[in-house]
Every structure is written in C-alpha cells, then in structure tokens.
C-alpha cells in the first residue's frame, strides 16, 4: 500500500490491534528492563567499590573479542527468525544447529587468540582470562535461538522476566563471590566479573529452553535456509562493524594506556549507556516484530516508527543533558574516591546519549524492511567515523597532555557532531519516512531538554559557589529539580506518554475481567 492510498477499515482495525499488543508488550518489557538496569546498577556500585578499576580494565580488554564472537555466533539468524513471515519447524531446527556449530567454532577461535590478545595489550594475565571466557560463546549459542522464538511469538513479557531473573541472580552471585574471595589472589577481582558473565548467560539459556515449548528436530534432518543465511550474513557483517566501532575506543585505550585507564573509561561508558540500554532494549524488543508486521501498510509503519523515535527523544534527551552537568558527581557517588578520575570522562560521554538511542533502534528499522545491506553500509560509515574521531582525539590529547581525555572527546564529538545526522537521514530514506516528519517529532522534547539543562546548570553553579555541598547532596537537589523542570517544559510529551500508559492499564484491566 502506498502512503497516498486511503486506508480500509480492515487496515485501521489491524493498526489498532497491533498498536495495543505492542504497547502492552512494550510496557512489560520497559518495566522489567528498567528493573534489571536498577539491579545491575546496584550490583555495579558494590563491585566498583570492592574491586577498583583494574579488574574492570582486564575484562574490558577481552570484551571486544567476546562481543564480536557472539555476533558471529548468532550470524544474524536470530533476527531472521523474528523477521521472517513464515518459518517451519525444520527450518528453525537447521538454524539452531548451525548456531550451535558456529558457537563451538568461535569458542575454539577465542582459545587460539588468547596468547595474541595478551601480546597485543602487553599483559600476561590476559591469556588465562581469555581462555576462561572463551566458553561464554558456546553458552550464548545455546540460548539465542530460543530467545528469538519468544520474541517472534511476541512473548515479550516472558522474555523480559527471564532476562531480569538471569541478571539478578548473576549479580547476587558476583557480589557474594566478591565479598568472599573475588578480590583476593593473583588476578584480583577479575574472577568475580568472569563468574557474572557465565552465570547470566547460563541461566538465561536454561530458562529460555524451559519456558519456550518449541524443540528442534534431529540435526541430520536439514532444510535449506539459504535466504536466511544471506540475510543473516549481511546483518552479521553490519553487527561486526557496529561492534568494532563501539569498541575501537576500548581497544585503543587498553593497548596504549593500560588496564587502569581502560577500567575508568569502560565503566564511565557503561554507566552512561545504561539509560540508552533501558530505552533502546525495551523499544527494539517490540520494534522489529511490530514494524515487520506493519510494513505492508505504510501509514501504520510510519506512525509506529515515529512513535518509537518520539519515545527515545522524550526519555533520553533530558537524561543526556542532565548527565552532562552532574556526571562527575554521579561517578563519585557510585564508585567512591577511587573512581573520581572517571568523572570528566563520564560528563563528556554523556553527550553520546543524545544520539545513541536513535542509532540503536535504527537497526530494527533497516531489518524490518529486509535492508540488511544498507544497514551494513551505515555500520561501515559509523565505524570509519569513530576511528577518525579517536585518532584525532588521540593526537589532540597527546598535545594537551591527557591522551585519555583526548580520545574521549574525539569519540563523542565525532559521533554526535558529524556522524549521526547523515546516518539518521540515510535510515529514514531507506524506510521512506520524511526527515521533516522526524524533525517535527523530536524537536519539542529536545528543546525542552536544553532549557531544562540551562536551569540545572545555573543551579549547579550557584551550589558550587557554596563549598558546603557534597556530591550526594548536589545530586539530591539537582536531579529532582531537573525532573520537575522538564516535566513542566515538556508537559505535552509527558501527557502523551502517560495517556499511552493509562490506556494500556485500562485495556489490561478490561481483558482481565472479560
């Protein structure tokens, strides 16, 4: 259907039904994921204070390889499973066995790369850490397709609760181990973080198999899945470039500045990205299946896509602006004095929040219309831009006497100021949504966030003039001030969110009594 074709009554009905199912599922995903991130933040706060920067730096040195291996293991077949209109049991079984086979292969590759990784970073401890973490690739492979089935069937609440339970239990195990023995021994607290990785992936895989009733047929009953592999290959290539682009900064910092600098940077980055993860994960959990099912109706597709972008703007813009102001206080309150040096890094990286949410959800838009090749091109664009920004930042930082700060500024400035807008235009053109429609969707909450930031900045400056305020006190004053100010300035946007939430609640209550 073209955008100019009048919608039929059936189209309107389908839109209403799709919108209702999306909002109900999205609300559950958002709530459980928010709870998961709060649990994760609480666990991280304890571990930051117990372990210090060095163990986090060691794991961060291996993490780019781990994420790349998981991207390779999935081969984009989990996305293809969700995106396909029809999928037989035999096809799904073949996809599962392929995923497990690739997972075993990537585990072997990680084992082989343990010594080169230690050589690259000049740290002999990394060999044993990489060897131990290699098995996470196979554990990941065991659960990824079952999770895709849950997503395909729009069992989003079950999947979200599963992820929350795995995250919570792994966090409890990690904290318990850290208190008992994790910070002792030759490798310090790094084994605490290794235990957390394994336990979360294992519990997620086991629970997904328990709650999803689908079971594969025998591995020798193969079905041709060439079209899924072609889609998955392009999607995987895109994922590899995205992963590389998002970890080039960590690789560069780890190789040049060592594990402590990387520990400070990586955790500042991870905490900054938590709001983005909450929002984008909640959205993409429903966005791909929703857009895939609405793609035959352009009007419904455009309404959904713009609504997802509106939500990203309403939530993440005020968070990004606010953290650019209070970032150092947040880092010190969470981690203590040992993490004070990460405060300026946190403040700089907070600017990335303004664009990262849009970048994250754009992948679902590309995938929903089967444009994995264009997604791959966009990923290459962002990766090359990130590399350029890092190298320029490194040069400037060397001249200014702080290479760590230079890399941080270079990365954030290139992504926010240069790379994002062309990428967003490219995405919108791919799915045939006008840039002006997107601009009208985001500009009001964006302006409200900027005005809120000016108010909070003025209040922060006034408090700085009085030295009696500690970091915790400053946050206790500035955060509620920012929330109240934004709620007033962006009241129409807040009402939009509240109306959707209340409508979901009313529909759920009606269904429950029906």
Specify the pTM.
0.78
Query: CA 81, CA 84: separation in Å to the nearest integer?
Result: 6
Sequence ranges of the domains in the chain: 258-370+388-514
- Given a contact cutoff of 8 angstroms between Cβ atoms, the answer to whether 275 and 38 are in contact is no
Task: Give the pLDDT confidence score for residue 395 in this predicted structure.
Answer: 93
Contacts of 425 (CB under 8 A, 6+ apart): 435
Evaluate whether 292 touches 18 at the Cβ level (below 8 Å). no
**CA distance to 256, 266, 363, 421, per residue, from 65 (Å):** 18, 15, 21, 29
Res 153: pLDDT = 67
Structure tokens at 345: 């890094």
Structure tokens at 107: 């585990």
Contact (Cβ atoms closer than 8 angstroms) between residue 225 and residue 163: no
Q: DSSP of 134-187, one letter per residue? A: TTHHHHHHHHHHHHHHHHHTT-HHHHHHHHHHHHHHHHHHHHHHIIIIIT-STT
Please give the pLDDT value at position 286. 73
Helices (H), 336-466: 343-349, 353-368, 372-400, 403-414, 420-430, 435-464
* Confidence at residue 4, expressed as pLDDT on a 0 to 100 scale: 44
CB atoms under 10 Å from CB of 181, counted, come to 12
Q: Provide the pLDDT for residue 510.
A: 40
Q: CB neighbours (10 Å) of residue 445?
A: 25
> Which residue's structure tokens are 């990205």?
273
- String of b and e for 323-355 (b: at least 16 CB within 10 Å)? bbbbbbbbbbbbbeebbebbbbbbbbbbbbbbb
Which residues, at least 6 apart from 213, have a Cβ–Cβ distance to it below 8 Å? none
- Mean pLDDT of residues grouped by 10 in the chain (514 residues)? 47 54 59 78 88 89 88 72 65 78 90 92 90 91 80 72 87 88 57 91 88 72 61 70 83 89 92 87 75 80 90 93 93 89 94 94 84 83 90 90 92 93 94 93 94 95 80 92 94 84 48 40
User: CA-to-CA distance for 201 and 140, rounded, in angstroms?
Assistant: 6
What φ, ψ does residue 135 adopt, rounded to 5°?
Answer: -70, -15
What lies within 8 Å, CB to CB, of 114 at 6+ separation is: 126, 127, 128, 130, 131, 134
Residue 216: its pLDDT value, please? 76
Dihedral in degrees, nearest 10, Cα atoms 52, 54, 59, 63? 100
Closest CA to 128 of 139, 141, 120, 117: 117
The reported pLDDT for the residue numbered 317 is 95
* Contact criterion met (CB below 8 Å) for 349 and 323: no
């Amino acid at each position: 259907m073209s955008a100019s074709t009048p919608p039929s009554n059936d189209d309107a009905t389908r839109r209403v039904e799709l919108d209702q199912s999306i909002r109900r599922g999205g609300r559950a995903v958002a709530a459980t994921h928010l709870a998961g991130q709060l649990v994760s933040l609480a666990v991280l706060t304890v571990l930051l204070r117990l372990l210090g920067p060095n163990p986090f730096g060691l794991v961060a040195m291996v993490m780019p390889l781990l994420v790349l291996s998981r991207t390779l293991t999935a081969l984009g077949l989990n996305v293809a499973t969700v995106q396909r209109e029809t999928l037989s049991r035999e096809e799904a079984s073949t996809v599962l066995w392929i995923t497990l086979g690739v997972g075993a292969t990537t585990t072997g590759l990680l084992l082989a790369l343990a010594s080169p990784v230690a050589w690259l970073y000049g740290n002999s401890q990394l060999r044993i850490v990489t060897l131990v973490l290699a098995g996470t690739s196979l554990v990941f492979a065991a659960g990824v397709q079952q999770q895709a089935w849950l997503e395909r069937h729009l069992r989003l609440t079950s999947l979200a609760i599963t992820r929350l339970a795995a995250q919570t239990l792994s966090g409890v195990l990690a904290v318990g181990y850290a208190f008992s023995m994790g910070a002792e021994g030759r490798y310090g607290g790094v084994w605490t973080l290794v235990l957390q990785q394994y336990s979360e992936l294992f519990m997620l895989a086991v629970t997904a198999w328990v709650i999803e009733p689908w079971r594969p047929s025998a591995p020798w009953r193969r079905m041709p899945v060439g079209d899924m592999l072609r889609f998955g290959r392009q999607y995987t290539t895109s994922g590899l470039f995205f992963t590389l682009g998002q970890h080039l900064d960590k690789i560069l910092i780890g190789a040049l500045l060592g594990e402590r600098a990387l520990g400070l940077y990586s955790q500042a980055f991870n905490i900054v990205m938590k709001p983005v993860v909450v929002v984008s994960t909640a959205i993409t959990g429903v966005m791909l299946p929703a857009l895939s099912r609405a793609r035959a109706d352009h009007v419904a597709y455009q309404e959904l896509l713009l609504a997802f972008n509106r939500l990203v703007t309403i939530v993440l813009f005020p968070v990004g602006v606010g953290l650019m102001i209070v970032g150092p206080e947040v880092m010190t309150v969470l981690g203590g004095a040992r993490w004070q040096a990460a405060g300026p890094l946190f403040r700089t990286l907070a600017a990335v929040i303004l664009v990262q949410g849009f970048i994250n959800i754009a992948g679902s838009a590309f995938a929903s219309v089967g444009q994995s090749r264009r997604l791959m091109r966009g990923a290459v664009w962002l990766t090359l831009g990130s590399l350029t920004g890092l190298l320029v930042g490194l040069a400037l930082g060397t001249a200014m006497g702080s290479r760590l700060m230079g890399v941080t500024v270079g990365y954030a400035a290139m992504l926010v100021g240069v790379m994002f807008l062309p990428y967003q235009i490219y995405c919108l053109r791919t799915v045939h949504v006008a840039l002006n429609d997107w601009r009208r969707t985001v500009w009001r909450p964006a302006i409200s966030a900027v005005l809120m930031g000016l108010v909070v900045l003025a209040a922060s400056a006034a408090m700085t003039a009085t030295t009696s305020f500690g970091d915790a006190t400053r946050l206790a004053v500035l955060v509620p001030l920012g929330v109240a100010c934004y709620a007033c300035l962006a009241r129409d946007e807040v009402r939009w969110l509240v109306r959707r939430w209340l409508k979901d609640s009313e529909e759920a209550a009606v269904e429950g009594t029906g």
